[in-house]
Copies of this chain bind each other. A is one copy, B any other.
Amino acid sequence: MPDLTLEDIAAKVGVSRSTVSRVLNGHPNVRKEVRERVLAAIEQTGFHPNAAARALASQRSWTIGLLLPHSVSLFFTDPYYPHLVKGIAQACNHLDYTLAFFLVDDKDDEERIFSRVSRNGFLDGVLVQSGHHGDQRIIGRLVDARIPQVVVGRPMRSDNVSYIDMDNVHAAYTAVSHLLRLGRRRIATITGPEQSTVGVDRKAGYVKALGERDLPVDPALIVEGDFTEMGGYYCMQTLLAARPDAVFAASDIMAVGAIRAIREAGLRVPEDVAVVGFDDLPLAAMTDIQLTTVRQPVVSFGYRAVELLTDLIQSGDPSPRHVIMDTKLIVRGTCGALARK
């Protein structure tokens, strides 16, 4: 059965091309009996409408793009990405969109990809994974090109763009408050890079929790990490000089490094130093770690991102929207809460 067209189906059923089109697109004004005959013919012939023709005529491709700029290296180590992609792919399936995937590796790629993304009629909109300062340029270009976009993870300059983000400030605030409630008073933090919004926001949550209890924010208790295990390890070594009784790490990986440093210094977790991480990676639940941490709903995050984008596309309203997702504190062993019972 070589390429069938609408016309073929129309001829077969004895109606006009328009009618078949109406059936295909679920328009109301088609007689029930006719609709069924058309549907039967489509089913029987295995006809699939030509997507290009459809996109050309209707100015809608039912395809959205996912851009992963900058973050490429993390893409291979951080389970965040597969989960995010899962949520996005699921939503696309359910909403009947197709997902086009762009991995921006270098500057050269950016040009190629940008030109592909901005081809009229190919994408209805794009999702841009971001949260890092370096992603600013591509977001700006997309804004200039008036391509509907949703930034996944709040961008550094967030005016004029729609984005979806985790409530990082509140999550960190909750984590640190939890430590305070457990009686810890010299709480250190290993932050994410200042170049990243998660770094900034989680630190802000830390500061907020301390401030709320009128505790001083001691610069000696704050070190900027880089989201790696080694980074966490070295940061913790630095922090130990300031004799903290707890540490809030902005990621689980860094928390694992921190625990290693604490133990090497002859101290115990959580007795001497309580630890709270962020992410709830599988490794956090492992028996010899039992990390108290913040869980992010990454899959639904991706799902909601797609919903937001498709809403944007369908509404045609360019005014920016924002969605903030809630996180959850997962209490395990390293914060010392369980031992107190």
Contacts and interface: CB of A to CB of B under 8 A. Distances in A.
A178 B90 CA distance: 44
Interface stretch (A100-108, A231-239, A257-265, A306-314): A100-108
B56 A85 contact: no
Given A82-B75, A99-B102, A51 B90 contact: no
Nearest to A145: B46
Contacts of A76: 79, 82-83, 86
Nearest to A4: B120
A203 B99 CA distance: 37
Given A75-B82, A96-B112, A89 B118 contact: no
A44 to B, nearest CB: 15
A61 B85 CA distance: 24
A55 interface: yes
A51 B122 contact: yes
A32 interface: no
Contacts of A99: 100-102
A100 B103 contact: no
B61 A89 contact: no
B112 A93 contact: yes
Interface of A: 3, 48-53, 55-56, 61, 63, 66, 72, 75-77, 79, 81-83, 85-86, 89-90, 93, 96, 98-103, 105, 109, 112-113, 115-116, 118-122, 282
